Chain A
Amino acid sequence: DAGVIQSPRHEVTEMGQEVTLRCKPISGHNSLFWYRQTMMRGLELLIYFNNNVPIDDSGMPEDRFSAKMPNASFSTLKIQPSEPRDSAVYFCASSFREDTQYFGPGTRLTVL
């Protein structure tokens, strides 16, 4: 069974550009989570969806960040405009139970 799928795996962009990260959760999982990981701050929850509905977006750092889940098999995290401090690894995770989460391979974002 395929795990969580994320694309792109690496993204290099210039400050001010729009960045869109994509995630396909494990089939049958009804919760989806977006995390950001940096050396300084560790793994931080940005937002999570349950049954395609955003439940908690308190971790979204600024209005420049937005996330959508139009259906059970697809979610996007968008940063517009991007800034160098957004450079991090962004993980998507999914779960059937909210607590037992399985992570995708991540997208390494570099904003120059």
Chain B
Amino acid sequence: QKEVEQNSGPLSVPEGAIASLNCTYSDRGSQSFFWYRQYSGKSPELIMFIYSNGDKEDGRFTAQLNKASQYVSLLIRDSQPSDSATYLCAVFTGTASKLTFGTGTRLQVTL
């Protein structure tokens, strides 16, 4: 079992719709959770982080965390073509002091 799992996609959503990106993790001791956006040929860019169960909103982005289910998600409201990118989920485990990345979900926002 991979430590951090994401569906590779592509996830295709029409412009203006809500994109829902999901991630599961295996280590129950994981403490903090991150979403990075990576455009093709570019470096990962940190867009959201969440530490506690529940929702955290920042503009059009909402991160959701459910530690009991070991599940974290990213919602993108009013999706724009500029949101088309690969979204990497990353999970930090304090005992290992390590940030583990999923393989990413490619999002395509269509006109």
A, B: real partners? yes
Partner of A99 from the list B43, B44, B99 (CB cut-off 8 Å) is B99
Interface residues on A, range: 10 to 19
Assembled-state Cα–Cα distance A10/B34 (Å)? 28
Decide: B42 and A105 in contact? CB cutoff 8 A: yes
Q: A91-B43, A106-B43 are in contact. Are A101 and B99 (CB under 8 A)?
A: yes
Decide: A45 and B98 in contact? CB cutoff 8 A: yes
Decide: B104 and A42 in contact? CB cutoff 8 A: yes
Interface residues of B (CB under 8 A from A): 31-32, 34, 36, 42-46, 49, 88, 92, 96-104
Assembled-state Cα–Cα distance A92/B36 (Å)? 15
Subset of 17 A-B contacts with CB under 8 Å: A42-B101, A43-B88, A45-B98, A45-B99, A91-B44, A98-B99, A99-B31, A99-B49, A99-B92, A99-B99, A100-B34, A100-B46, A101-B46, A101-B99, A103-B44, A103-B45, A105-B42
Partner of B46 from the list A33, A43, A102 (CB cut-off 8 Å) is A102
Assembled-state Cα–Cα distance A24/B49 (Å)? 24
Assembled-state Cα–Cα distance A91/B88 (Å)? 15
Contact with B along A33-72 (1 / 0, CB 8 A): 1000000001101001000000110000000000000000
- Chain A contacts with B in 71-112, Cβ cutoff 8 A: 91, 98-106
Decide: B92 and A105 in contact? CB cutoff 8 A: no
Q: Which residues of B contact A103 (CB under 8 A)?
A: 36, 43-46
Q: Which residues of B contact A99 (CB under 8 A)?
A: 31-32, 34, 49, 92, 99
Residue of A nearest to B2 (CB): A42
Assembled-state Cα–Cα distance A101/B32 (Å)? 12
Q: A42-B103, A42-B104 are in contact. Are A98 and B97 (CB under 8 A)?
A: yes
Residue of A nearest to B88 (CB): A43
Decide: A56 and B97 in contact? CB cutoff 8 A: yes
Q: How far is the CB of B106 from chain A (nearest CB, A)?
A: 12
Residue of B nearest to A106 (CB): B43
